Each structure stands twice: as C-alpha cells, then as structure tokens.
Amino acid sequence: MNKTLQRKPARVEGPWAPYAPDDKAPWDLRRVVHLHRRGGFAATWAELQRDLKDGPKASLDRVLEGKARSEGVPENFEATARLLADAAAGSRDPARLKAWWVYRMLFGPDALTERLVLMWHNHFATSNLKVNDLSAMRRQNEIFREHARAPFAKLLNATVRDPALLLWLDAQVNRKGHPNENLGRELMELFTLGIGHYTEKDVKEAARALTGWTVVDEAFTDVPVRHDDGEKTILGRQGHWKGADLVKLLLEHPATANRLAFRLCELFMGEGTVDAAAVKALADGLRERDLDIGWAVGTMLRSRAFFAEANLGRRVVGPVEYVIGSARALELFEPPSSTLVLAEWMARLGQDLFYPPNVGGWPGGRTWLTTRALIGRANCAAALVDGARVGRPGPMDALALARRHGHGKDGADLITFCTKLLVGVEPSVAWRERLDKALGKEAAGADGARKAVALVLAMPEAQLA
C-alpha cells in the first residue's frame, strides 16, 4: 500500500529489536491470534492455521500489506463500499455512515489500516453531533484512511484543513481581532505536542496564526482578509506565522514525536508493557524519519517487544474490536449480520462511531470495562450467536464451525476450539471447570456449542487481547 512497507526497517536494536521465534517466545497459536487481534480485528481459524504454518515473517508481511484476510472479503468490496458511503453521505442518516465503516472493517481486506483509521478517529476526535454533516464526516474518515501510515505531516496537514474538523473546532469564527482558541489549543494539546509543552500564550498566538482558515461551501478556504498577519511568537519562535507555518512548527517540535509514539503504543502495546525508554526510542526513530507512521507500525509489529510474553493478553479490547473481531472469528459472513445493528451494539458498549464523547476521544483501556459494559458484552455475544438480534435470519451453527475445523467431537473438544479461536490459549483446567459448570450437560450438541461460544466471548479473559 505504501512504499515504506517495502523498505526493510533500519536495523533497530534496543527496545524495538525485531522478533525472532525462540523458546521464550515461540511462534505459536497464541502469538498468531495476538498478531491478528492487535494488528487487525481477529482472524478466522483457517487464517490462524495458515499463519501458524507460514511463520512470522510471511504472516507479518501479509498483515502489513493488507492481505491477511483469506476469506470473507467480497469480490467487489471497494465498489460496494463506495456505494454504501455515497448513499450514507447523501442521506440524513448517521446510522448509514456507521454501517458503512462497519462494512469496511468487517469485510475489507486490510484490517490493519482500519485499525489505524480507528486510532486516528480517536486521535483527531470529531463528533458529528456538532458537525452535523455526514458528507464531511465521510471525507474525514477517508483522509484518515489515505494517510493512515504516511509521514505524519501529510496526515496532519490534510486533517487540519478538513471541513469536519474545522467546523468541530469553530475555525470559522476564528478571525482577526476575534480569535477563537479551540482549534489552536486542540492542535497543540491533543493532535501534536500534548499537555505541558506549550503555554497559554502559545495557544493564543497559535489561534492568531490560524485566523482566516474557514469552511465555505463545504470546502476549506483560506480567507486573507480574516487573517491576523501580525507578528507572533509561538514556542519561542518569532515570525508572521500563518496556519501552514504553525503546522510546520508543531511537526518540528520534539514533543510531537513523543505523543505519536504514545498513541501507537496505546494501539499496539498492552497496559504497562512499554517503559519510558521504549517510548523514547520509538519517538527518536520517528523523529529521524519524518514522523513516518508506517515505519513505526512496521517496526512495532515486527518487534520482539510486541511478541514478548509480557505483551500478550494485556490490552483491553475496545467495543469496535470486540464486535468486529467476534463476528470475524466466528465467520459470520453468510448470511451477514446487519452492519447497522453491529454499529448499534458498539454504541451500546460505549463506542459510537463518528460520535466520540468529546475532542479527547475515548479514553479506552480499563474505562471500557464498566459493569454495565461487561453485561452489554455478554448480551452482544449472545446476540451474535443467536442471530436474531443482529439481523441474521437464524442462529449460527457453532458445532458445524468447530467440526469444519476438525474439532467439536465432544464437549471438551468444543471448549478447546472456542478458547483457542477466541482467546488464543489452550484452556486450563480451571477454565474448563468454569465453562463446564456454566454449560451443564448440553455441551456436546448444537445448542451447547452456541452456548459455549457465547460464554467464552463473555469471559473476562476474552475482553483482553
């Protein structure tokens, strides 16, 4: 997809040294599941087995090239996706736009890019509640997709001129003599430097630099007469800074690389698995390479740190990942669940696409796991399995799924299958006991299989990946 992937990452030692399988970190099913759950939205059993066989290099190459999905991707995916997006943008119906993105995440070939788009949606959190323009939200989403792994300058410059963001942060009322600080502040605080690396004065001056940037006829326009072209001092630098200059200043500031490194670690690394030195090394690497996100993504996914034992099962699965990942792993392709309803479930679980709670995005991590949300996830799992509440005509045949993949001859085998598929581990004795108790004696039949799937999905361990 972009050239940075073909280039072999420069030999990075230290925290992000590349992974090679060994005794402490063998290339096992667990790691394959882990790769797909962090670098995608979970994989089907066949895909897992394939990657297990082919080894890490081939598997990573596939993931990074957007070719990891071997099934469930319709032939005319892009054409259909475009049709759905156009229909959504031309309608008054946010549900359609959400359904479109779910379609992309669930049926598209490149899950890693969609994960990054989700990350950028969170990073540049813009809510349609205020923007109220589906066409603009769609365009913003496409900007995230296009520049997901580009050098950050490309993404930042495109995003900061994106009408949805400008409307969201009141750019159109920011003018000479009447500065509005929203855009400038969030640009510094959230999108680039992060808190503590600028002063209030910097924010004011940044607002002045951004005057003139507005939206006219749904397109970005720079209106010179509104621009305050006086001298400004931003981050210690003096000049008649305009918006483009401000962006350049921010990109050059070392704090930006740190913040990006933080974001990427938030995406790919588990809680407490990355120390300050590792983040710094990543940030340094970014700084040396024009903030090339693609390089960082490749480096991280191929790293030893990524596949270290400490990093496995240490990250909370967010609602979107949970819903899409479950649907994918369970091969709910034909008949498909309703993308509209899946989006609805995500919202219920706390992540409403295109409607982040505020400009800070979704805090993520443990905040996903409220009691209510956990109950919601159990309900969602049950709904996915039984089909009726996600728009499928009937329940999934979990037994057939297991059998198709060589498991399911009895209750114990079924549990093994579900656990390996959905959590990536060999079920422990304690685990089996819990499940046996919950399943009772119906473990072996079709109903039992369904129940097993729903149970596994609802287990606390399944909320981590």
Partner 1 sequence: MKSQALRPLLTALRRPADDRRVSDRQLLQYYLDQGDESAFAVLVGRHGPRVRAACRQVLADEADVDDAFQATFVVLLDKARSMYWRPALGGWLFGVAHRVALRARTRAAARHRHESRVVRPASRPDVDLSWREAVAVLHEELDRLPDPLRLPLLLCYLDGLSRDEAAQQLGWTPGTVKGRLERGRLRLRDRLARRGITLTTGLLAVLGNSGAACTVPPRLVQTTLQAVARRALPAPALAHGVPPIMWKNYTGLLAGLLLVALAVGGSHLLSHAGTVPAVSATGHLEERPRRTEPPPRDKPSAPESITVQGRVLGPDGKPRADVDVYLDRDTTASVAAARRAISGKDGRFSFRLDPTPFAKAPGRADSWRDARVVAVADGLGPAWATAGRATEGGLSLRLVSDLPLEGRILTLEGRPVAGARVRLRSLTAWASEAELSAHLRAVAAGDAPPRPFGFLGEVPGRSNEWKTDDQGRVRITGLGRDRLAGLEVTGPGIAHDTILAVTRAGKPVIGRPGPYWATIYPATFEHAAKPGRVLAGKAIDATTGRPIAGIFVQSAGAPPKTVTDAEGRYELAGLPKANKYILYVQPARGDVPYIAVRIDVTDTTGVGPLRADLRIPRGIPLRVQVKEPATGKLLRSGVSYVSYVPLYPNKNAPENLPGLMLGTKLEPDGSYRGAVLPGPGAICVMCSGGDYLPAAVNQKTFFRLDRVPRDEKILPASEVLWTAGPNSNPLPQRQFQVIELIDPSAGAKEVSLTLKPDPGKSATIRLQDADGHPLTGVRVWDWRRGEEWGPPLAAAGLKVSGLGPGRPRYLVFRHEGRKLAGTVIVRGEEAGTVTVALQPWGTATGRLVDTAGKPLPRHELRGRNAPTGRDRALTLPGAVRTDDEGKFRLDGLVPGGEYYLMASKYLPQVGEFIGVGHLADPVTVRPGETKDLGDVQVRRIGK
Q: Which residue has the tokens 């670098």?
A: 39
Minimal distance, residue 402 CB to partner 1, in Å: 25
For 132, phi then psi, to 5°, come to 55, 45
- Distance from C-alpha of 284 to C-alpha of 410, rounded to nearest angstrom: 53
335 or 445: whose CB is closer to partner 1?
Answer: 335
CA distances to 188, 204, 209 from 173, in Å: 19, 14, 14
Answer for which of 186, 205, 344, 352 binds partner 1 (CB under 8 A) is 344
Least spacing, CB of residue 23 vs partner 1, in Å: 45
Pairwise CA distance, residues 66 & 369, whole Å: 30
Residues 23-82 that bind partner 1 (CB under 8 A): 74, 76-77, 80
CB 137 to partner 1: min, Å:
13
For residue 170, give the DSSP letter: T
- Name the helix (H) or strand (E) containing 221: strand 219-222
Nearer to partner 1, 175 or 407 (CB): 175
Q: State how far the Cα of 134 lies from the Cα of 218, in Å rounded to an integer.
A: 11
**How many chain residues interact with partner 1 (CB under 8 A)?**
36
Angle (CA) 283-116-170 rounded to 5° is: 90
Give the interface segment with partner 1, choosing from 94-102, 114-122, 313-321, 422-430 (CB under 8 A). Answer: 94-102
Q: What's the closest the beta carbon of residue 300 comes to partner 1, in angstroms?
A: 33
Contacts 24+ apart (CB under 8 A), 354-358: 354/94, 354/97, 354/98, 354/101, 354/121, 354/127, 354/128, 354/137, 354/141, 355/94, 355/127, 355/128, 355/129, 356/121, 356/122, 356/125, 356/126, 356/127, 357/127, 358/125, 358/127
Please tell me whether residue 90 binds partner 1 under the rule CB under 8 A: yes
The residue within the footprint of partner 1, chosen from 1, 12, 52, 87 (CB under 8 A), is 87
Q: Name the segment binding partner 1 (CB under 8 A); options: 83-91, 142-150, 192-200, 356-364.
A: 83-91
Counting contacts by CB under 8 A, is residue 336 touching partner 1? yes
Residues in the chain: 465
- Cβ closest to partner 1, residue 92 vs residue 366: 92
Residue 290: left if φ>0, alpha if ψ -120 to 50, beta else—which one?
A: left
Asked whether position 224 contacts partner 1 by CB under 8 A, the answer is no
Longest dimension (CA), the chain: 78
Mind giving me the DSSP string for 234-301?
A: ETTEEE---HHHHHHHHHHSHHHHHHHHHHHHHHHS-TT---HHHHHHHHHHHHHTTTBHHHHHHHHH
The residue among 78 and 426 lying less far from partner 1, judged by its C-beta, is 78
Choose between 211 and 311: whose C-beta lies nearer to partner 1. Answer: 211
> Which residue is associated with the tokens 């969201």?
168
Q: How far is the CB of 379 from partner 1 (least distance, A)?
A: 8
Smallest gap from Cβ 90 to partner 1, in A, equals 4
Tell me, residue by residue from 365 to 404, as one string, x for binding to partner 1 by CB under 8 A and - for no binding.
------------------x----xxxx-------------
When asked if residue 228 is in the footprint of partner 1 (CB under 8 A), the reply is no
Looking at beta carbons only, is 336 or 361 nearer to partner 1?
336
DSSP code of residue 9: P
Nearer to partner 1, 185 or 226 (CB): 226
Q: Kindly tell me which residue out of 99, 116, 458, 459 binds partner 1, with binding defined by CB under 8 A.
A: 99
Report the residue from 71, 93, 309, 410 that binds partner 1 according to the rule CB under 8 A: 93
Q: Of the two residues 77 and 262, which places its CB atom closer to partner 1 in the complex?
A: 77
Q: Which of 8, 213, 2 is nearest to 113 (CA)?
A: 2
Sign of the alpha-carbon torsion through 132, 136, 142, 143: negative
Instruction: Indicate the residue type of 231.
Output: E
Identify the residue among 36, 96, 420, 450 touching partner 1 (CB under 8 A). Answer: 96
- In whole angstroms, how close is the CB of 98 to partner 1 at the nearest point? 10
| Minimum gap (Å) between residue 190 Cβ and partner 1 | 27
| Between 100 and 368, CB nearer to partner 1 | 100
Tell me which residues touch partner 1 (CB under 8 A).
Answer: 74, 76-77, 80, 83-84, 86-87, 89-93, 95-96, 99-100, 103, 107, 133, 218, 335-341, 344-345, 348, 383, 388-391
